[in-house]
Each structure stands twice: as structure tokens, then as C-alpha cells.
Chain A
Amino acid sequence: KNEVEQSPQNLTAQEGEFITINCSYSVGISALHWLQQHPGGGIVSLFMLSSGKKKHGRLIATINIQEKHSSLHITASHPRDSAVYICAVCNMDSNYQLIWGAGTKLIIKP
């Protein structure tokens, strides 16, 4: 079993839909990152969370430390949101290495 699991693996939606991507982890963490990677592009860090909820524009990230679960939401989705979204956790026991989820490939159709 992977230490960081994301769902769904692939998601196709229409422009304007509300998007939710989930991340569950099994290790003790100091923080959780949500990152975005466009095809052929570099990785951009969207959020770093250790508790609660953060919002930036149309993106919202939440984390429940007790349940070891995080969600990334996109409101009023747009085709430019199409990318791979990756959840990664800072493992407290491994000198703060990031443990990565496999990513969720999101396609927003116009």
C-alpha cells in the first residue's frame, strides 16, 4: 500500500464544475503540499498545509490531521486548470523528505 494515495487518478469535467481531488496518507507528517504540474512543465507549489483550510483564488485546500486526509477543491473550473495535481507529504520520520502521491490528471473541457 502506498503511503500517499490520491483519488481519482483521472478526472474529466466540464468548464464551471466544482472539482474535488482527495489525498489520504498513512505516515506521520509535519505538512502536506498540493502541487500542480502542467504537461511538459515544471511543478508549482499551490499550498502547504499543516492544519485547517487555505484558500487562494478559486482553489481551496483542507486537511484533517486526525483522519489523515486532505482535499483540493477548484471552484468554477476553467480549461486552464487542466493539469496534474499532486499531493505530497513531509514525513516526520525521514528528515522531511517529501513522499509523493501518484497525481490526479484533471482535464476541464470548454
Chain B
Amino acid sequence: DTGVSQNPRHKITKRGQNVTFRCDPISEHNRLYWYRQTLGQGPEFLTYFQNEAQLEKSRLLSDRFSAERPKGSFSTLEIQRTEQGDSAMYLCASSLSGGADTQYFGPGTRLTVL
């Protein structure tokens, strides 16, 4: 247990539905990252926050994806109108600042879109 928690751990949904995932980082960590990992591939960067500010978004993050970190603590990742291609493991990580600081990963949320 790294101290980063994610909920739910598993989500099965039908195509076209909206889903929301939550990440609770280590409390003193000010950076929070979202990654997506599809089967057999390494994780792909989606976005990150410095406190409550979303500083960077990957081109992978289409308009159907939105992430928030309203109070600089927990973060949510919402996917609207899910597609089968969204099926993946969604990973959250946090770090104390960035760069040379270790990122601590949560257990991930596995999304299956039917």
C-alpha cells in the first residue's frame, strides 16, 4: 500500500454511459497525475495537477475526458459517453513536487466498457 487510494477498483459500464473515478493522493503531496494503461502496454500520461491547477493535458485526453482537483487534495476523472476503446486501467500517482521526486501510484481503476 503506497498511501494513494483509488475508487472504485473495478467499473463495468455500458457504452455511452458516463463514469467517474476518484483518486486520493498522499496528503502532503501537491502533484497528482493520471495515467491510462491498456493491456500489454505501458502507462500513458493523461494529465497532471499542481495543487488545484491542471498544468498539462495529453492529446490522448479527448473532450470526453475531464479531470478536476477542486481543493488540491483528491481528484476525479470523468469519462463521458464511454466507448469500448476507453477500456483500460486508469492509474493515479502523486508526488511531493515533481521532477526528481518519486511518484507513488495507486492500485488503479480497471474500466470495462461493454
Contacts and interface: CB of A to CB of B under 8 A. Distances in A.
Contacts of A33: 102-103
Interface in A23-44: 30-31, 33, 35, 41-44
A103 B42 contact: yes
Interface in B89-107: 91, 93, 98-107
- Sort chain A's interface into a size bin: 20 to 34
Given A31-B99, A43-B43, A95-B48, 16 more contacts: A30-B100, A42-B107, A43-B105, A43-B108, A45-B103, A45-B105, A48-B100, A50-B100, A86-B43, A90-B100, A95-B55, A95-B98, A97-B56, A98-B33, A98-B103, A100-B44
12 contacts: A31-B99, A42-B2, A42-B108, A45-B103, A45-B105, A88-B43, A95-B56, A96-B98, A97-B48, A98-B33, A98-B103, A103-B42
